[in-house]
Amino acid sequence: MSIVRYVNKKTGTVALYESTSHYDPETKQSRPKRKYLGTENPETGELIPSSGKRGRKKAAGGNEKEKSKKIEESFQSKYHQLLRECGNKDARIKQLEQENKKLKFYIQKLRDTASDLLGSMDV
């Protein structure tokens, strides 16, 4: 039994494996069996052990019911916020339409007054 070091040339990390030899009767050769131990600390050279579990680590933060509840609450708050914003925008649009109507009325009044003044100057 020995410890084998593999250096990843792209990242520079060093992976450590425990290697044991086993004889393969079919090929009549010995084959290594390796067990992953962890990575090597680049500064001290010490072993940083692995958790021993395979695959990706599960995200911390509780179970799935709590996560789905938080997502639902977030969705509900965003939904209500959007409804308020839409209501505010609708009210602002109505206000601007009323102002626009008033301004069009004043512009028409000014045109009429100007045409009356220009018409009276011709006489």
- Tell me the pLDDT band of 96, cut-offs 50, 70 and 90: very high
Rounded-to-integer distance, Cα 9 and Cα 21, Å? 26
- Whether residue 70 is found in the same domain as residue 112: yes
Is residue 35 one of the residues assigned to a domain? yes
Tens-place pLDDT, residues 23-43: 999 999 999 999 998 999 888
- Whether residue 75 is found in the same domain as residue 108: yes
Owning domain of residue 10: 2-45
pLDDT value, residue 100: 97
Q: How many CB atoms lie within 10 A of CB 7?
A: 10
Contact between 16 and 3 (Cβ < 8 Å): yes
For the entire predicted model, the pTM comes to 0.42
Is residue 52 one of the residues assigned to a domain? no
At residue 74, φ and ψ (nearest 5 deg) are: -65, -45
Is residue 70 one of the residues assigned to a domain? yes
Is residue 113 one of the residues assigned to a domain? yes
- Whether residue 81 is found in the same domain as residue 123: yes
Task: Please state the domain count of the chain.
Answer: 2
Two structure tokens written together for 96: 């601007």
